[in-house]
C-alpha cells in the first residue's frame, strides 16, 4: 500500500544523503558528469592506424607488381614500390595518431580553461 507522504520521504532522503556526502567531502555524482570522464581518443583509432599501415603495404605491392608485369622488370619495381608503400602507410598512421592526440590535448585545455 502506498503511503501518503511518499514524495516527501524521497525528498528527505535526498536531503540527508546530500548532507552526508558534503560532510564526508564526497563528490556529488549529479554535479558535473562530463568533468569526471577523462578525454579519450576517437573510437576505432587502433583500427584506423592498422588500416593505414596495411593499405600502404598492399597498395605499394600491387602497384609494383603491376608495373613489373607491364615493363617486365620483376622484382625491382615490386620491391621499390613495396617499401615506398610501407613508408607511406607509416607516415599516414603517424599523421592520424598526431591529429587524434592534438584533439585530445585541445579537449583537456578547454576543460582546464572552463574550470577557471
Query: Could you give the number of structural domains in the chain?
Result: 1
Rg (CA), the chain: 29
Residue 38 falls inside a structural domain: no
The three state secondary structure string of the chain is CCCCCHHHHHHHHHHHHHHHHHHCCCCCCCCCHHHHCCCCCCCCHHHHHHHHHHHHHHHHHHHHHHHHHHHCCCCHHHHHHHHHHHHHHHHHHHHHHHHHHHHHHHHHHHHHHHHC
Residue 51 falls inside a structural domain: yes
Residue 64 falls inside a structural domain: yes
Listed range (7-11, 35-39, 46-50, 94-98) with the worst mean pLDDT: 35-39
Q: How confident is the model at residue 13 (pLDDT cuts 50, 70, 90)?
A: confident
Residue found by looking up cell 563528490 in the block: 27
If one counts every other C-beta atom within 10 angstroms of the C-beta of residue 109, the result is 10
Q: How confident is the model at residue 77 (pLDDT cuts 50, 70, 90)?
A: very high
Average pLDDT over the chain, rounded to whole? Answer: 84
Condensed to tens digits (0 to 9), the pLDDT of residues 47-60 reads 999 999 999 999 99
Q: How far apart are the first and last CA of the chain?
A: 50
Domain limits at 109?
Answer: 45-116
Residue 69 falls inside a structural domain: yes
CA 62 to chain centre: 31
| DSSP 8-state code for residue 25 | T
Condensed to tens digits (0 to 9), the pLDDT of residues 91-115 reads 999 999 999 889 888 888 888 888 7
pTM of the complete model beyond 0.85: no
Residue 2 falls inside a structural domain: no
Q: Say if residue 34's pLDDT is above 70.
A: no
Q: Say if residue 1's pLDDT is above 50.
A: no
Amino acid at each position: 500500500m502506498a503511503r501518503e507522504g511518499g514524495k516527501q520521504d524521497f525528498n528527505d532522503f535526498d536531503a540527508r544523503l546530500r548532507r552526508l556526502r558534503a560532510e564526508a567531502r564526497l563528490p556529488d555524482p549529479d554535479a558535473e558528469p562530463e568533468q569526471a570522464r577523462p578525454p579519450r581518443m576517437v573510437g576505432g583509432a587502433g583500427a584506423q592506424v592498422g588500416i593505414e599501415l596495411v593499405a600502404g603495404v598492399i597498395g605499394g605491392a600491387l602497384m609494383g607488381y603491376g608495373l613489373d608485369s607491364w615493363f617486365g622488370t620483376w622484382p625491382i619495381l615490386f620491391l621499390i614500390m613495396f617499401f615506398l608503400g610501407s613508408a607511406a602507410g607509416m607516415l599516414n598512421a603517424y599523421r592520424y595518431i598526431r591529429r587524434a592526440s592534438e584533439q585530445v590535448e585541445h579537449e583537456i585545455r578547454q576543460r582546464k580553461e572552463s574550470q577557471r
